[in-house]
Amino acid sequence: MVERFFRDLTTQRLRRGVFKSVPELVEAIEEYIEKHNEKPKPFIWTAKANDILEKVVRANCRLSSKKNGALH
C-alpha cells in the first residue's frame, strides 16, 4: 500500500511539478496529503493470499533460472 500511495503522489502531484526549493517540494507533498485525507477511502484487498503467493513463487523460479543461466 505504501508503494501505491507514493505512485499516486508522484503521478498526481510531483511528476509535472516545478519546485524551486526543498521547502516548495515539502509544501506540495503536504498539500497532497491534506487533500488525500479529506476523503479517505479504505483499501479493499481483492486478491487471494494463495494467488499472490503462487505468483511470487513463479517469479522467483524464473528469476532463479535466469540467474543460473547467466552463471554458466
* Residue-level length of the chain: 72
- DSSP-derived letter for residue 43 is -
| Residue 71 pLDDT grade (very low, low, confident, very high; cuts 50, 70, 90) | low
Q: What is the pLDDT of residue 69?
A: 61
pLDDT digits over 3-55, tens only?
888 999 999 999 989 999 999 999 999 999 999 999 988 878 788 989 999 99
Q: Structural domain tally of the chain?
A: 1
- Give the C-alpha separation, 35 to 18, whole Å: 19
Domain that holds residue 15: 2-71
Angle ∠(53,54,59) on CA atoms, nearest 5: 95
The predicted pLDDT at position 68 comes to 60
